[in-house]
């Protein structure tokens, strides 16, 4: 019985498919990065060349970047960092135990509690800004960093509870029971097993809260009445006058405002991948 060995043809489809997917991915990435490229070019373009129809300026001007630091906006950048970091820490401190308890205990009113938490996410800060101002005015917290931290933390808490509850619920309880057998208590199983496995959800809540607090404008404009206590998005509004706009200074400040978010992503990007497998290995 003779057998015929047929020569296998080289598989070109997967390679072509991979190339097409990569090309589309690069195209989408360029579409999203293009506005930032224009922002950088305008920030480094001299004032007299803003209306010139060419991509790159004849001379590079760094006066707007230097003017950001010399004009006192560095203090506003520090205020934004305090508000974003403080709101993120507040949300994680409150959301982690709430999400873990609701995912591991079927107590009476659990569904109502989760729905109530979700309902709070439907309210916009803009529609509640008058009530928010009056409340913080009575507590003497107007024009303070603590007011912005509490407001941003409160409005981002619902999302964090829901996303963390979903991650905790997806983790099998048998892993925690195995940790109990090994001598770990509830807190030990949480920090050694459950929390590392839920790290992608924690990072998602962290990123969402940080960016939302970093970009928040309406409540900060209302509560931060003095220029020295305003976050950076509100301070950048000073470049927009009634009859003219300092586009060079505005875009330079916007470029600097994106740097902390880029640094945050660079620091925690590996944590997302590592959290997918960490904690399940004994």
95-120 mean pLDDT:
81
Burial 43-58 (b: 16+ CB within 10 A, else e): bbbeeeeeeeeeeebe
Report which of 205, 215, 196 is spatially closest to residue 278, judged by C-alpha positions.
Answer: 196
In terms of Cα–Cα distance, which of 6, 81, 102, 23 is closest to 232?
81
Quote the mean pLDDT of the chain.
80
Average pLDDT over residues 133-155: 88
Provide φ and ψ at 240, rounded to 5°.
Answer: -100, 105
The model's confidence at residue 263, banded by pLDDT at 50, 70 and 90, is confident
Domain ranges of the chain: 13-43, 72-274
CATH class assigned to 72-274: mainly alpha
The enclosing H or E element of 167 equals helix 145-170
Q: What is the pLDDT of residues 24-34, one digit of tens each?
A: 999 998 998 88
- Cα dihedral 179, 184, 185, 190 sign: negative
In this prediction, residue 275 carries a pLDDT of: 47
Q: Is residue 39 scored above 80 in pLDDT? A: yes
53 by DSSP, 3-state: which?
Answer: coil
pLDDT classification of 278: cutoffs 50, 70, 90: very low
* Across 96-108, average pLDDT: 84
What burial class does residue 154 get, using C-beta atoms within 10 Å of its C-beta: 0-12 exposed, 13-18 middle, 19+ buried? middle
Cα(201)–Cα(164) distance, integer angstroms: 6
Q: Which residues pair with 245 in a beta bridge?
A: 240
């Amino acid at each position: 019985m003779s057998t015929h060995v047929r020569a296998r043809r080289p598989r070109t489809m997967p390679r072509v498919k991979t190339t097409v997917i990569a090309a589309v991915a690069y195209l989408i990435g360029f579409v999203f990065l293009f506005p930032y490229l224009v922002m950088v070019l305008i920030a480094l373009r001299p004032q007299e060349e803003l209306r010139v129809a060419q991509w790159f300026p004849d001379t590079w001007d760094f006066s707007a970047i230097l003017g950001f630091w010399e004009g006192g906006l560095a203090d506003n950048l520090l205020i934004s960092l305090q508000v974003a970091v403080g709101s993120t820490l507040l949300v994680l401190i409150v959301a982690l135990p709430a999400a873990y308890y609701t995912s591991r205990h079927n107590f009476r009113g659990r569904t109502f509690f989760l729905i109530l938490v979700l309902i709070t996410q439907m309210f916009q800060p803009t529609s509640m800004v008058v009530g928010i101002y009056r409340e913080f005015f009575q507590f003497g917290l107007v024009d303070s960093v603590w007011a912005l931290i509490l407001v941003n933390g409160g409005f981002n808490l619902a999302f964090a509870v829901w996303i963390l509850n979903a991650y905790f619920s997806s983790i099998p309880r048998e892993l925690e029971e195995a940790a109990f057998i090994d001598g770990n208590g509830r807190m030990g199983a949480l920090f050694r097993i459950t929390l590392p496995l839920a790290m992608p959800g924690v990072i998602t809540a962290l990123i969402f809260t940080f960016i939302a607090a970093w970009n928040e404008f309406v409540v900060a404009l209302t509560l931060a009445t003095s220029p020295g206590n305003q976050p950076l998005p509100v301070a950048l509004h000073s470049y927009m006058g009634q009859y003219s706009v300092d586009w060079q200074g505005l875009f330079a400040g916007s470029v600097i405002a994106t740097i902390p978010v880029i640094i945050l992503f660079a620091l925690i990007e590996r944590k997302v991948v590592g959290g997918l497998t960490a904690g399940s290995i004994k």
